[in-house]
Amino acid sequence: MNEYKSQVLKDMVKDALEYLSEERIAEVFDFVGYLLAKEKREKRGEEMELDPTKDPILKYTEGVSVEPFAHRIDEILYGGQD
């Protein structure tokens, strides 16, 4: 991206922030932090690591591979077939 186009986009984002609520601005800030961390990892050549011990949802997903859930998961989620 050329420098002029980059500056125009930055200015547009700054202008758009004026119309957002404080809560939405905080969400934008969180997202920018995520993007910065992602870019930093990419520059170091790292893949995002999924660690069930650090993520409660990933930890739970291990539970659906065991009985009684695994063989009936479609029926449990979507109901019986007609």
For residue 52, what are the contacts with CB-CB under 8 A and spacing of at least 6? 58, 59, 61, 62
Backbone conformation region of residue 79, classed left if phi is above 0, alpha if psi is from -120 to 50, else beta: left
Cut 0.75: pTM above it: no
Verify that 22 and 61 share a domain, yes or no: no
Range of the domain at 9: 1-46
Q: DSSP state, 67?
A: T
**How far is Cα 4 from Cα 10, in angstroms, rounded to an integer?**
10
Tens digit of each residue's pLDDT (9 = 90 or more) over 26-82: 999 999 988 998 888 888 876 666 676 776 666 666 555 555 555 666 676 777 655
Tens digit of each residue's pLDDT (9 = 90 or more) over 21-38: 999 999 999 999 889 988
Verify that 40 and 17 share a domain, yes or no: yes
